[in-house]
Structure 1
Amino acid sequence: MCKAVENNHVVFMNTLIVSTFTCPFESFEKFVADFHQEEGHKYVIEYELIKVNDGKSHLILQVIDHDGFADATSTPEMKEWDKANGYEDTVYSLELID
């Protein structure tokens, strides 16, 4: 999950979001992809969405602007979607272990 970038800096996935929801996984997957295309790409370089089961996922992200990402995912529209789809999450910060 690591890759070298300019100036010998290494970037890596730095955030894990464990999510539960009542909508079908495919609907959640589309929601995540649409959000990334419309807004999330400003704050997230890369992400991987992993299906645990139909109502649970693990989303691993390379977030470059945590404050911007938090703001974008806390809008009234996002909160409305969360409520309508039984969405709950737990967010973890990841650290690379050498």
Structure 2
Amino acid sequence: MNTLIISSFSCTFEEFEKEITENFFGCLVKDYVSDYEFVKVNDHKAHTLIHITDMNKFGASLESDEAKEFDKRNNCKDIVYTLELIE
């Protein structure tokens, strides 16, 4: 499933990018995310396009203690959209 996550955060973009690419995609969801693109919008906002192979596991990872602690520490808010190809 193709998904778009719009994230806003109080940390720097560099801190957010490191956390997302190294810890989240590098460890936490690597078994059920087959591809992603991470795009800086501004210093406190990013868009992430993701291809998820198991939405239930991905949803559970967003609710993990590690993810919740990062969100709380960095005032991170995510808006998640599922995307469909229009032919």
Unaligned runs of 5+ in 1: 1-12
State, as a whole percentage, how many aligned pairs show the same letter.
Answer: 45
Counterpart position of 1:6? none
Q: Secondary structure of 2:30's match?
A: helix
Q: Which amino acid aligns with 1:54?
A: D
Give per-residue Cα distances to partners, 1:26-71, cap 9 Å, x unaligned.
1111111112111211111000011000000110000111110111
Unaligned runs of 5+ in 2: none
Q: State the distance in 2 between where 1:45 and 1:92 align.
A: 17
User: RMSD across aligned C-alpha pairs, in angstroms?
Assistant: 1.0
Q: State the distance in 2 between where 1:90 and 1:39 align.
A: 19
Q: State the distance in 1 between where 2:69 and 2:28 align.
A: 17
Q: Does 1:49 align with 2:38?
A: yes
Aligned with residue 79 of structure 1, among 49, 68, 72? 68
Higher relative contact order (CA 8 A, sep 6+): 2
- The structure whose Rg is larger is 1
Aligned with residue 6 of structure 2, among 18, 25, 35? 18
Q: Does 1:27 align with 2:8?
A: no
* Aligned residue pair count: 86
Give the TM-score of the pair, scaled to structure 2. Answer: 0.93
Give the TM-score of the pair, scaled to structure 1. Answer: 0.83
